Structure 1
């Protein structure tokens, strides 16, 4: 007899249950965190609606209503929270105190100010040769990177290796001229492969800046929006890609992330043009 399960009062068969489980895995729920199932649809009754606040007083003469309603600058900064400011100060101190890449990796791995650390399997620092002329900045580890503790090892990473091999470069190349040093802005996997938040980028930036200083590459490649947000303070990779700029005091080339190319193969033509531009800078 085929076994049947019940989910939210509805009887489902085994194949349907497996399909639901696979869907949860693809969304990032790939590990049980509780001893017993938790029905997150069983919400408490809504609280009573509070009475409407009194209408604001009329603005003072010469002051707009919007300006009067806005909190002062100090209050706006405090919206980030004391915990965030304290964590950022700690990150900056830890990064500044690291004299080598190994020391920096140990300092960042021990940093507890970013919540991502609690949900990730592994700390993913870097791969390739630190003495390489080219340093690639990606966004954040994915599922396979989280499992192996190395950046760019999934499908997108395999495509990355193929792309740079086409211009004679690789992360394992013994020649520093043709080698790659690969890392991500975020060193822990965001749950469900979501985009990192602005706060997570800000807390990671002191470590990333110090990593660039210690590796001291000649060129940077910014793969996707998150590296552009961290290094340039701008997003819009489809507008930025292919245009040389400056990041962390050195030439930088924004490129579309290999994961985007897997979803949009037609964009590979533009990425090939970007690679040729990098090869020309390197004299390859």
Structure 2
């Protein structure tokens, strides 16, 4: 563009920065002294922030650990401790006899459970009910059913570690309130979370484990059994093993 055109537009005279002016210079690197001060502040702030986070987590765990059934269910219903709260419809607290000898623990709610707010109410739930009936048990007959997480993971994916960790105090309090004689984990996710193990179902089944001093037996998740019918017989073996474990406890108590 020529000078006359620039003048018509009111863009003359042109002003140019001299070399070496403040705007022409690149930002200087922080001094050694300022870097040292910043590093010192970070070293002070980070531990303090961690302490606040740990303190808050400890307070939450303590509150949950002293809750009664009504308080615990209320806490779960409004929980926002992990991202699952953003996509849930309803929390799925648990269902059954609150003084049960048998505690069944799955991994997390599915789509139908998310809608109704009760664990194991779809096809997998019907199969679980049939398994319980074969043992002369039922949802409200000496059985309590819960999950590792209280909210549905999107697309029925496995719960992430952080999600399971945030829900763990709720489950621990449920176990403490119920005081079951036996825990039966349904599926790999539940077994691995409670046992702190990365082992497969195949290597964990058929053995008597322990959680918080309570005998624990591992079996397949009913949803898996719907896809792998040949493993139903193995699941029945696990439940018979669980029944025998309960009976042995009763015999020892009578001696």
Please give the range of the TM-score, normalised by the shorter of the 2 chains.
0.7 to 0.9
Asked whether 1:262 is paired with 2:226, we answer yes
Asked whether 1:147 is paired with 2:115, we answer yes
- Out of 85, 94, 111, the position equivalent to 2:63 is 94
- Is the CA contact 2:102–2:143 (under 8 Å) kept in the aligned structure 1? yes
- Is the CA contact 1:123–1:187 (under 8 Å) kept in the aligned structure 2? yes
For these two proteins, the number of residue pairs brought into alignment is: 200
Kindly tell me: are residues 253 and 83 of structure 1, through their superposed partners in 2, closer, same or farther at Cα, counting changes over 3 Å? farther
Deviation at 1:239, TM superposition (A): 1.4
- Is the CA contact 1:87–1:113 (under 8 Å) kept in the aligned structure 2? no
Q: 2: distance between equivalents of 1:170 and 1:194?
A: 28
1:88-167 equivalent positions in 2, closer than 5 A = 88-89=57-58, 91-98=60-67, 100-167=68-135
Deviation at 1:230, TM superposition (A): 2.3
The two structures have a TM-score, normalised by structure 1, of: 0.65
Q: 2: distance between equivalents of 1:82 and 1:141?
A: 33
1:238-277 equivalent positions in 2, closer than 5 A = 238-277=202-241
Asked whether 1:192 is paired with 2:155, we answer yes
Q: Which runs of 5+ in 1 are unaligned?
A: 1-73, 174-178
Kindly tell me: are residues 157 and 91 of structure 1, through their superposed partners in 2, closer, same or farther at Cα, counting changes over 3 Å? farther
Give SS of 1:251's match.
Answer: strand
Deviations 1:64-93 (A, max 9, x none): xxxxxxxxxx9xxx9xx8998577435413
Aligned-pair RMSD on alpha carbons?
2.3
- Is the CA contact 1:94–1:107 (under 8 Å) kept in the aligned structure 2? no
The two structures have a TM-score, normalised by structure 2, of: 0.73
Q: Which runs of 5+ in 2 are unaligned?
A: 1-42, 251-255
Q: 2: distance between equivalents of 1:94 and 1:225?
A: 30
Q: 2: distance between equivalents of 1:83 and 1:222?
A: 35
Q: 2: distance between equivalents of 1:155 and 1:84?
A: 41
Deviations 1:91-131 (A, max 9, x none): 41331231x22211112223321110111000100111111
1:169 alignment partner in structure 2: 137
> Per residue, is there more helix in 1 or in 2?
2
- Out of 194, 201, 220, the position equivalent to 1:231 is 194
- Is the CA contact 1:135–1:181 (under 8 Å) kept in the aligned structure 2? yes
Deviation at 1:243, TM superposition (A): 1.3
2:178 alignment partner in structure 1: 215
1:206 alignment partner in structure 2: 169
- Is the CA contact 1:209–1:248 (under 8 Å) kept in the aligned structure 2? no
